Amino acid sequence: MNDAASGSLRKSGRQAALMALTAMAALAAGPAQSASPESRTVPALRIVGDAIPLPLSETPGDPVRGRAIVVDRQRGLCLLCHSGPFPQERFQGNLAPSLAGAGARWSTGQLRLRVADSRRLAPQSLMPSFHSVQGLVRVAPTWRDRPLLDAQQIEDVVAFLATLRE
């Protein structure tokens, strides 16, 4: 296969993954929830350099809950694009970097920004902004002004990724 064909396949694979990710997020949303405006508001992220140094919640992240989100194909959707040290999980992605060693490559603040709003680092990233609602277009009414993961879930995922040292 030539380089042009290979690049075309990679691009179509990324587009398919993005479409699947969008569809899965819509399915996971379920029926619209009535929430007060205060509970749907996401405070601005406090970014310093390439990190969010302070936790988004008062409760420390739980790596066990974080792992459950990462491998859950309805909530985190991480394995749609990423692979990692999850031998029991079938059909792991290859469109994004492996999660293996993430805790050794990045600080918790850097992990937090990558999960909360990766588009701050790479505007063309396929990875959804799990905790940002700003600048999004074509958002289903169920998800308008509502992040994919709440602050505690972000902290749980970050706590888990930080354990992946090898």
The share of the chain scoring above pLDDT 90, in percent, equals 54
Fold of 3-163: Cytochrome Bc1 Complex; Chain D, domain 2 (1.10.760)
pLDDT digits (tens, 9 = 90+) for 16-74: 555 555 544 444 444 333 333 334 457 788 999 999 999 999 999 999 999 999 999 88
In the chain, where the domains are located: 3-163
At residue 139, the pLDDT reads: 80
CA–CA gap between residue 145 and residue 49 (Å, rounded): 25
Global pTM? 0.75
Average pLDDT, the chain: 81
Q: What would the mean pLDDT of 142-156 be, rounded to a whole number?
A: 90
Tell me the C-alpha distance between 115 and 41, whole Å: 18
Asked if 149 and 142 touch (Cβ cutoff 8 Å), the reply is no
What is residue 61's DSSP assignment? P
Choice between 40 and 80, residue whose per-residue pLDDT is larger: 80
Strand partners, 51: 48
